[in-house]
Amino acid sequence: MSIALAANGNAPIARHFAPAALSMVPGQAPVAAKPQDEDLRALQQIGTKVRFARNTTIFNDGDDAAYTYKIISGAVRLCKHTSNGRRQIADFLLAGDYFGFLQVGTYSFTAEAVSDVVVMAYPQRQVEQLSNTMPSMSRRLLTLLSQTLLGMQDHLVMLGRQAAKERVASFLLLLAERSDAEEGEAFEVPMSRQDIADYLGLTIETVCRALSDLKRSKLIAIPNVHQIAIKDSEALEAAADSDE
């Protein structure tokens, strides 16, 4: 099990919110069960399907890390709650994403259902077992973790060095890429404005205003609160990273 480098054996994985899809990359040839997928099928065996209602807690920061999860449908947020009641969302996970893996002892963040959610829960003990016996599995976990790191670094830059409008624009681009929606095609925005604000380190009002601005300048369309379409990705990318 390659711990370090090694030219990322598998197909390049698009950068999502942190934990990249461990599952097969969507849009890939649908030939079932390639050799390197045996680990995924093994995982499949040990999982249990569980559902969580919107806004319920899946696990808490500090809980004993008993399971690794994979999202079947719905969306999840990973939050840090501070002593004085502030909240920072570290990541949003969508269908196909894994979370709670590789936690040493206890979870270091709270996981909550953004919408009604169906997940597979894999007992940590058995995931560990698998990774011990299957090089492909441990390699996958490492790659996954690396992707998480990459995503968090980008998130840091967003929070540390981008203006409000830039953050919102970047966020929309991430979501759009993630939903592989075409330019002009609306994609789902399952999280509330408050969730977005807490992900971007802003207030809900600032998020609203930024969205209104982008709409007013015809870069996006907002058919309804939980759906957005990018009308001019060129210009939106510029807005996400304005040179001045």
86 binding partner (options a second copy, DNA, none; Cβ < 5 to 8 Å by kind): a second copy
164 lies in the site for DNA, by CB under 7 A: yes
Task: Identify what 204 binds: a second copy, DNA, none; CB under 5 to 8 Å per kind.
Answer: DNA
Only one of the segments 27-35, 41-49, 50-58, 83-91 lies at the binding site for a second copy (rule: CB under 8 A); that segment is 83-91
SS3 letters for the chain?
A: CCCCCCCCCCCCCCCCCCCCCCCCCCCCCCCCCCHHHHHHHHHHHHCEEEEECCCCEEECCCCECCEEEEEEECCEEEEEECCCCCEEEEEEECCCCEECCCCCCECCCEEEECCCEEEEEEEHHHHHHHHHHCHHHHHHHHHHHHHHHHHHHHHHHHHHHCCHHHHHHHHHHHHHHHCCCCCCCEEECCCCHHHHHHHHCCCHHHHHHHHHHHHHCCCEEEEECCEEEECCHHHHHHHHCCCC
Could you tell which of DNA, a second copy, none binds residue 205, using a CB distance below 5 to 8 A set by kind? DNA
Of the residues 73, 153, 194, 212, which one makes contact with a second copy according to CB under 8 A: 153
Q: How far is the CB of 84 from DNA (least distance, A)?
A: 11
Contact residues for a second copy (CB under 8 A)?
A: 1-8, 65, 68, 80, 82-84, 86-88, 90, 101-105, 108-109, 124-125, 127-128, 131-132, 137-138, 141-143, 145-146, 148-150, 152-157, 159-161, 198, 200-201, 241-244
Contact residues for DNA (CB under 7 A)?
A: 163-165, 192-194, 201-209, 211-212, 222, 224-225
